[in-house]
Amino acid sequence: MKLFKNVLALLLACLLACPVTVLATENGKEEDDEYNDNYNYFSNWVVTEYSVDRNVIRKGDDVTITVYLVGNKAIESITPITGAFNHTEVVPDKSYENEGIISFSAEYTGVGKEFQFRVNGDQVYFTIHECEEYTQEEHTDQTTPVLQVGRHDQIKPIAKGETQTVTLWINNLTDRDLYDVVAVVSPSGDLQIMDNSVTYPIGRIWSGDVAFFDVTVKAFGEIASASQSLSVEISYAYEKDGILTPGTDTQTVPLSAIASQETSSMTASVPNVIVSGYDYGSEKISAGTAFDLKLEFQNTSSVKTVENIVMTIDPGTALAITSSSNSFHFSSLAAGGTQTQTVNLQALPDAPSAPAKVAVKFSYEYIDGNERRTVTQEQTVSLPVYQLDRFEITQDMSYIDSWQYQESFLTLSYINKGKGTVYNVSAELQGEIPAMSKTQNIGNVEAGRSGTIDFIITPELAGENTCKVVVSYEDDAMQVMTKEFDFDVFVNEMFVPEILPEEDMMIEEPQAKTGWIWIVLGAVAAGAVALVIVLKVRKKKKSGVVESFVFSDGTEDLDGLS
């Protein structure tokens, strides 16, 4: 053991004297050279090796990371630092003065790959290469974020002159992160916020996560009603198509109080009935479809039973109740008890792509001493509604017969049969066929509008040619949609008339002229012979010699007798 410590001290002295990077290993194996630059040398501490309990670490994963640490002084304290990982537990497995093996239980946040902690107050960090950073491209839901706001149970109702700290929570229900979240809280008339500001910066809320913050309220004067509330207005930004888009939401959180005419004893506490959960069966609701909204509500009181409960549903302007009334009656609900009710709803065909607000109002009675009292409370739930994508694109002809170097048309017809606008429609021609313009920007297409997308092509290569038109657009929920259309273009070879060589043309031209000359000369010669014959006959006639002459019609003329 003594020899081992001497050797280790010698190695450590060399490391501290030379600013070199120590190779980290995982599970006893050296990492590739491409990882070496990411391991940092520190003046007091060196991470020589680390290991994790999985091959790939994604956002939200709980992992165990074991770190092998060497330093030039004794290890006294290990303190985690929140960054890419949210630490939950630190366990020093083994320590020999200036070296140790430490296990961390942590949750990966999805941003960055640096693992950080402090040793004796000195910061140590190194890269966890198994991390797979979270990116916005993983999102598939493009609807507006849906939030749920609530509070922890009150220990007791707030009375005149009392101060209470209420813990509120914001639940991000959708598959997207929220940035720069800020909550502005407004109390009901009988309460006052005692914090330095009514604005509460929250920061970032991951998809599916819950953020908590405390609000301190006080009832200074008389309390007119046992039903008090906090109105929470939330502003945030979320990423949509690579751009941070602002959003807002306002919800009301009920609080119980002791009205001034009542006694301040616990028998005067007011039971609250709240919506403790709801389910609508899918991630989002398409306009025009029917669905079931399952509501679960709870009596938060631990001692009082509520009776004669009437729950009234106001579906708002985007939804409608089907197959039932909007009111439901329950005879009683015991202290701490829960009850469920399913409401048949339908999203209206012209409902916009936005969260639909459903107001749930409770009216109930309870016994306070010898008196029966009535309480009315109202809450809101949000349901994501979006318009169906009914933007239709058809291909007029998929097979085109064309000629070389002649213009032809590739045509697509479109019509928006939906109720909402289709945004940023564009088309791109892909392939080797030359075209006048390979990109067409159509822009926004309102509901009911139709038109065509035309590409003018001028093919150059004869034979079979293929090309593709890719049409992209954003639907009413701002989700990017892409459609592809293939075209087969058969290009006929261009006809070229045959042109004879110049030599052949020079030879043939004199031959044509020579032939006509011989015909003319032949005709002149024939005429001369005929003239000689006629002169000869006439000469013989004058000399008195009887000669016969046969004409062409076969008759015979005896010279001198005719």
CA–CA distances in Å: residue 342 to residues 150, 345, 468: 21, 9, 49
State residue 33's pLDDT score: 39
Confidence band, pLDDT 50/70/90 cuts, at residue 234: very high
Tokens 């493009």 sit on residue: 142
**Are 296 and 278 contacting, i.e. CB atoms less than 8 angstroms apart?**
yes
Instruction: List the domain boundaries for the chain.
Output: 2-134, 139-386, 391-492, 509-558
CA distance 443 to 441: 6
Is 549 a residue whose pLDDT tops 70? Answer: no
Is 96 a residue whose pLDDT tops 90? Answer: no
Q: What SS3 state is found at 526? A: helix
Q: How many CB atoms lie within 10 A of CB 425?
A: 22
CA distance 186 to 170: 16
Task: Using only the alpha carbons of the chain, give its radius of gyration.
Answer: 48
Q: Between the CA atoms of 33, 38, 43 and 46, what dihedral angle is there, to the nearest 10 degrees?
A: -70
CA distance 241 to 239: 7
**Are 100 and 76 contacting, i.e. CB atoms less than 8 angstroms apart?**
no
Is 319 a residue whose pLDDT tops 60? Answer: yes
CA distance 270 to 335: 11
Tell me: the pLDDT tens digits for 32-67?
A: 433 333 333 344 788 888 889 888 888 888 899 998
Average pLDDT along the chain: 78
Burial classification of residue 288, based on how many CB atoms lie within 10 Å of its CB (0-12 exposed, 13-18 middle, 19 or more buried): middle
Point out the least confidently predicted range of 133-142, 193-202, 236-245, 303-312: 133-142
Tell me: the pLDDT tens digits for 109-163?
A: 888 888 888 888 787 888 888 888 776 544 444 467 888 888 887 778 888 889 9
Q: What SS3 state is found at 42? A: coil
Tokens 């008759």 sit on residue: 555
Class of domain 2-134: mainly beta
Maximum Cα–Cα distance across the chain: 179
Residue type, 257: A
Point out the least confidently predicted range of 110-124, 298-312, 323-337, 422-436: 110-124
State residue 120's pLDDT score: 83
Pairing of strands 306-314, 354-368: antiparallel
Confidence band, pLDDT 50/70/90 cuts, at residue 257: confident
**139-386 classified as CATH 2.60.40.10:** yes
Q: Between the CA atoms of 321, 326, 332 and 333, what dihedral angle is there, to the nearest 10 degrees?
A: 40
Tokens 């092998």 sit on residue: 68
Q: What SS3 state is found at 388? A: coil
CATH of 391-492, one of 3.20.20.80, 3.40.50.150, 1.10.530.10, 2.60.40.10: 2.60.40.10
**Are 40 and 21 contacting, i.e. CB atoms less than 8 angstroms apart?**
yes
Best CA proximity match to 87, nearest among 103, 105, 69, 102? 105
State residue 277's pLDDT score: 86
Per the confidence metrics, is the pTM higher than 0.85? no
